Amino acid sequence: MRYLTAGESHGPQLTTILEGIPAGLPLTAEDINEDLARRQKGHGRGRRMQIEKDTVEIFSGVRHGYTLGSPITLVVENNDWKHWTKIMGIEPISEEDQEEVKRKITRPRPGHADLNGAIKYGHRDMRNVLERSSARETTVRVAAGAVARKFLSELGITVAGHVTEIGGVKANPSPIQSLQVLKDVTEASPVRCFDKNVEQEMMDAIDTAKQNGDSIGGVVEVIVEGMPSGVGSYVHYDRKLDGKLAAAIMSINAFKGVEFGVGFEAARLPGSQVHDEIAWSKEQGYYRLSNNLGGFEGGMTTGMPIVVRGVMKPIPTLYKPLQSVDIDSKEPFQASIERSDSCAVPAASVVAEAVVAWEVASALVEQFGQDRLELIKENVQRMREHAAEF
Ligand SMILES: Cc1cc2nc3c(=O)[nH]c(=O)nc-3n(C[C@H](O)[C@H](O)[C@H](O)COP(=O)(O)O)c2cc1C
Ligand SMILES: C=C(O[C@@H]1CC(C(=O)O)=C[C@@H](OP(=O)(O)O)[C@H]1O)C(=O)O
């Protein structure tokens, strides 16, 4: 499976075309809208989120509520576009608007794609870069992920993302055993964190950063339950599913690191405290006595939950702007200020969920059949039985 996205942050719409979603999957716009709404929430978002009310339109690939196996086109309109038609160059500009509307962005913001993108594509106006490098694009990545998640639910696989750290405030390890309970608690939290004791501290940290004209980052975690074992492969580097998931997390704007299970802590622990001992029972078949490796051995799923975390850097646009250089005058300047979020870690946990759901769904489709949902269901069931009897 693969998808492309298109659209500028302040253009008329964002579009994605999904290729390879099997036929026969029940799918409505409501399935996707729920996730779009979840991405828009979270303490620390800027004014743009009050303007947008993201909803999807399905333009192809679905008839009478079922996927056809043909490309699925999804579109999310930008409400804010009506304020940007002149700047985006879609409407003719009157004489008196010329100067204001054609004003170029020439002061790159540190931490953004502005300078590298301008040099690479030869843009003297860095709006030509920022319009596309903006995380507005994650809207349709979440739409794609929602379709993948619907597919996974048909196979009894659940994906949940949440926040474990913001600005140095850490959630205590989850006492919650059930993924459904974790999901319910997290959805009710303004920072998408399961730990009620630190939720307020996280919000305070965001507010303080904002008051200081600063920004903060954090850590998100995604858990996938119900995966059969043996998905992915050890036989070639580009078939390792943990590698694909790491790339997917790293592709989210502002993500700077990924870990599975105990992750970087593995560097400090002896092997006896890292590797997950193997057991067997008639009811469960093979299982592990722990899940320190986050559901992967040899690039393949172990059948234990996948546990992957990603670290998001602080938002780069600061109201207290950092030093930069004007690309026309070459003089030092304060970076340009665009309207901005002060923390988007809660929103990013929904994006992380979406990109993980897509990769996992894609791996299952590749391994268990590509065309029909029913066929894939049968093949996954057969794999589960094979593993249990092995
Ligand atoms: C959901 C989400 C919202 C974001 N909102 C902003 C924002 O309002 N302002 C900003 O400067 N960066 C924001 N970012 C981060 C930038 O898009 C990102 O840092 C930038 O495109 C450079 O890419 P890189 O950090 O991956 O190198 C956001 C990221 C995500 C995932
Ligand atoms: C629009 C979204 O996020 C945007 C991501 C973003 C950036 O630089 O990445 C900058 C801001 O854009 P604007 O200047 O239009 O307010 C955020 O609002 C969104 O998440 O839907």
Q: Is residue 23 in contact with ligand 1, taking CB distance under 6 Å?
A: no
Mean pLDDT (the chain, rounded) = 95
Q: Is residue 339 in contact with ligand 2, taking CB distance under 6 Å?
A: yes
Q: Is residue 254 in contact with ligand 1, taking CB distance under 6 Å?
A: yes
Q: Read off the DSSP letter of residue 230.
A: T
- Domain of residue 15: give its range: 2-389
Which string of DSSP letters, residue by residue, matches 264-309?
Answer: GGGGTS-GGGTS--EEEETTTEEEES--TTTTEETTEE-SSPEEEE
Nearest residue (CA) to ligand 1, atom 22: 112
| CATH number, position 250 | 3.60.150.10
Ligand 1 centroid distance, CA of 293 (Å): 29
Tens digit of each residue's pLDDT (9 = 90 or more) over 316-371? 999 888 999 999 999 999 877 767 899 999 999 999 999 999 999 999 999 998 89
Distance (Å, whole) CA 65 – CA 157: 21
Per-residue pLDDT of the chain (390 residues; tens, 9 = 90+): 999 999 999 999 999 999 999 999 999 999 999 999 999 999 999 999 999 999 999 999 999 999 999 999 999 999 999 988 888 887 777 777 777 777 899 999 999 999 999 999 999 999 999 999 999 999 999 999 999 999 999 999 999 999 999 999 999 987 788 999 999 999 999 999 999 999 999 999 999 999 999 999 999 999 999 999 999 999 999 999 999 999 999 999 999 999 999 999 999 999 999 999 999 999 889 999 999 999 999 999 999 999 999 999 999 999 888 999 999 999 999 877 767 899 999 999 999 999 999 999 999 999 998 899 999 999 999 999 999 999
Number of domains in the chain: 1
Read off the tokens for 228.
């059969």
Ligand 1 pocket, mutate which of 35, 49, 134, 216 (most atoms under 8 A from CB): 134
State residue 95's pLDDT score. 75
Using alpha carbons, select from 366, 307, 296 the residue that is nearest to residue 2: 366
State residue 370's pLDDT score. 81
Specify the pTM.
Answer: 0.97
Read off the tokens for 158.
């659940």
Which ligand approaches the C-alpha of residue 350 most closely?
A: 1
Q: Is residue 215 in contact with ligand 2, taking CB distance under 6 Å?
A: no
Q: Is residue 369 in contact with ligand 2, taking CB distance under 6 Å?
A: no
Q: What end-to-end distance do the CA atoms of the chain give, in Å? A: 30
